[in-house]
Amino acid sequence: MKTSHSFDEIFKFQGKAKSWSLIMIAVGVIGAIFSFVVFGGERTFANLLLMGYYFTCVCICGIFFCAVQYVAQAGWSASILRIPQAFGKTLPIAAAILLAIILGGLFITHTGLNEYGKQTTLPYLYKAWALKGITTPGSVNYDAVITKKSGFLNIPFFLIRIIFYLVSYAILGRLLIKYSENEDALGGMFNYKKSFNVSVIFLVIFGFTVPLFAFDTIMSLEAHWFSTMFGWYNFAALWVGGLSVITYTLIRLRENGYVQWVTEDHLHNLGQLMFGFSIFWTYLWFAQFLLTWYANIPDEASYFYLRWVPEFKPWFWLNIIINFLTPLLVLMSRDSKRAVKVLKTACVILICGHWLDYWQMIMPGAVGPQSAWYTEIGIPEITIFIGFVGLFVFTTMSALSTFKSLVPRKHPFLEESLHHHI
Amino acid sequence: MSKTKYILGLFADPDEMMHGIDLLQKNSVPIYDVFTPMPIHGIERKLGIKDSRLGYAAFMFGCLGGTTIFSMAYYMLVHDWPMNIGGKPAFAIPDFVPITFEWTVLFTAFGMTLTFFYATHLFPGRTPRVMDLRATDDRFVIAIDAKGNTPHEDITKILKEAGAVEVKHNDRKYVSYE
């Protein structure tokens, strides 16, 4: 076992990775414009919201990962913290993009049919509650149910909330990264203790607001329906998706000659988390499904009814197969978590799987069925996905290259992490 | 001929014990087993111990539990006495999922416990097999089968050299049967 490593290496973001990420961004931009013209603004905006939300969630997950490690006083993860920190550093960019998409979706309008089949002016996103006149009795768009919800679900308060969540996550994430960098410069326990305190504050705020973040951004697309499970279900998706991206990034960096101190033991731990929280995700998915199915109240069942039309049903089941059966069968054994290639494949499957998960949360309500199930995922979905992957790689890898070292070299638990063994 | 059955090297420090394992291996002395009061990271790989197969047992018990309750629920609620509950079909698979999950976990937990007891010869009421009582307290013990491992003085010397605080030449394998 190698016991000494050079921590002076700085990650350089250049060459193939950089050019490919820029090409992917270009594909995404062209794809989005093309989709807007050919496939319509509604589908394009829904896809942008999907990827903006996914991007933001992965960045939030970076901060959440660090905070959990600090609060648990975990030693094993000390040497890999820079990767989630780089995600956290990117959160302001991701949040700005998500906010721009939401603002565009709310305020750019087109004419179309409202839910009573009457011609009216519709926003591209959140047409279920952000229509003009939806709370005015006598208006063509008047909706009594939404009017009762409008004390909470109105555009100014909605935007205030979204901004509050994202700004508070970003500031606390920023502090965590700042303390970690100070620790590298100064040493000692002082910054570690401050990181611990900030992590506790972050987890309290995050714990209370992350379900609301999911309610606002995603669940309000179908504002008539509600589920108290939805927030935690989205949290599980955020955590599994984020862990898969962290693990995948780590494996790719390791393959390219960086972070050589990361062993199968660290990857094994990440694999365990991915496996465990995939089961947790399934548990929440099923809890939401079983109660709705069993009670069969029209208000609640409408959500699954929409997803059981022929255009969505294959994807609905595929979602469960990918996100439950794959981790269950692939990641259960110890050997497969330690086989880097298997783990890498599982990461890719789960990253795509949680894209599909978000997709089937958003599309049936925001866009509705297309002509057939196989045309549901087409050029807009694929190009915008590619574009955001490129954007994610470009922004997070640029953030990673700003760190002076790829390891928090004066982290008090660093030695424990370097000798991690399970 | 010597009556010694097992030679035990007692260490006060886990690092010295690991050093002792290294020295014995370097001198081609086969180690029978090592007993420590706490888990030592990396010791399985060093001693070349095979991976535990407890996981396979757990998986099989889980399958058994899931199958048992699913068949039971099917027999009771679909075959033998179908009931109309809320207008749902008699064979309502989603309803069967929670109980199937619970029994899978239950059988896995009990099955693993029993397998562990069986494999380690532990059972309530049975005297445990212990080669040195302080291995459960504050001593890290390397046990060497004395038969065929001669001369014993050399082994004692290696253990002392590695930092053993005490070396025992035991005539009996287990000291716990009094």
Q: How far is A396 from chain B (nearest CA, A)?
A: 35
Do B116 and B141 fall within a single domain? no
Residue span of the structural domain in which B104 resides: 54-120
The residue behind tokens 């011609």 is A119
A90: phi > 0 → left, psi -120 to 50 → alpha, else beta; which? Answer: alpha
Average pLDDT, chain A: 93
Do B116 and B150 fall within a single domain? no
Do B38 and B93 fall within a single domain? no
Closest CA to B127 of B78, B160, B176, B161: B176
Q: Where are the alpha helices (DSSP H) in A218-263?
A: 230-255
A356: tokens are 């599909």
**In this predicted structure, what is the pLDDT of residue A3?**
58
Cα-to-chain-centroid distance, residue B27: 28
Q: Say if B144 falls within a structural domain.
A: yes
DSSP summary character for residue A122:
E
Closest CA to B57 of B124, B114, B96, B133: B114
Q: Mind listing the pLDDT tens digit for each residue in A298-355?
A: 888 999 999 999 999 999 999 999 999 999 999 988 889 999 999 999 999 999 999 9
Q: What residues of chain A, 126 to 185, have a C-beta less than 8 Å from chain B?
A: none
DSSP letter string, A89-103: HHHHHHHHHHHHHHH
Chain B CB within 8 Å of residue A186 CB:
no
Do B66 and B114 fall within a single domain? yes
Do B61 and B104 fall within a single domain? yes
Do B113 and B66 fall within a single domain? yes
Q: How far apart are alpha carbons A174 and A94 in whole angstroms?
A: 14
pLDDT in tens, chain A (422 residues): 455 777 888 888 888 999 999 999 999 999 999 999 999 999 999 999 999 999 999 999 999 999 999 999 999 999 999 999 999 999 999 999 999 999 999 999 999 888 888 889 999 999 999 988 899 898 888 999 999 999 999 999 999 999 999 999 999 999 999 999 999 999 889 999 999 999 999 999 999 999 999 999 999 999 999 999 999 999 999 999 999 999 999 999 999 989 999 999 999 999 999 999 999 999 999 999 999 998 889 888 999 999 999 999 999 999 999 999 999 999 988 889 999 999 999 999 999 999 999 999 999 999 989 889 999 999 999 999 999 999 999 999 999 999 999 999 899 999 999 988 87
Q: Mind listing the pLDDT tens digit for each residue in A196-239?
A: 999 999 999 999 999 999 999 999 999 999 999 999 999 999 99
A191: tokens are 């910054």
Residue A200 CB neighbours (<10 A): 13
Q: Mind listing the pLDDT tens digit for each residue in B44-103?
A: 888 988 888 898 999 999 999 999 999 999 999 999 999 988 888 899 899 999 999 999
Do B136 and B154 fall within a single domain? yes
HSE, CB side, 13 Å, CA atoms: give it for residue A69: 27
Q: How confident is the model at residue B147 (pLDDT cuts 50, 70, 90)?
A: confident
Average pLDDT, chain B: 90
In this structure, are residues A324 and A330 in contact, taking their beta carbons and an 8 Å threshold?
Answer: no
Name the residue among A286, A333, A334 with its Cβ closest to that of B97: A286
- Does the model's ipTM exceed the 0.90 cut? no
Closest CA to A270 of A7, A53, A81: A81
Q: How far apart are alpha carbons A234 and A232 in whole angstroms?
A: 5
In this structure, are residues A220 and A49 in contact, taking their beta carbons and an 8 Å threshold?
Answer: no
Do B15 and B100 fall within a single domain? no
Q: How far apart are alpha carbons A252 and A133 in whole angstroms?
A: 51
Q: How many domains does chain B fold into?
A: 2
Q: How far is A250 from chain B (nearest CA, A)?
A: 24
Give the residue from A265, A266, A282, A286 with the most B CB atoms within 10 Å of its CB, the best one to mutate.
A286
Q: How far apart are alpha carbons B88 and A272 in whole angstroms?
A: 38
**pTM given for the model:** 0.89
Q: Say if B24 falls within a structural domain.
A: yes
Query: CA-CA-CA-CA torsion for A305, A307, A313, A316, nearest 10 degrees?
Result: -130
Do B83 and B28 fall within a single domain? no
Q: How far apart are alpha carbons A91 and A88 in whole angstroms?
A: 5
A236: tokens are 């599980």
Q: Say if B177 falls within a structural domain.
A: no
Do B47 and B28 fall within a single domain? yes
Closest CA to A177 of A400, A420, A413, A421: A400
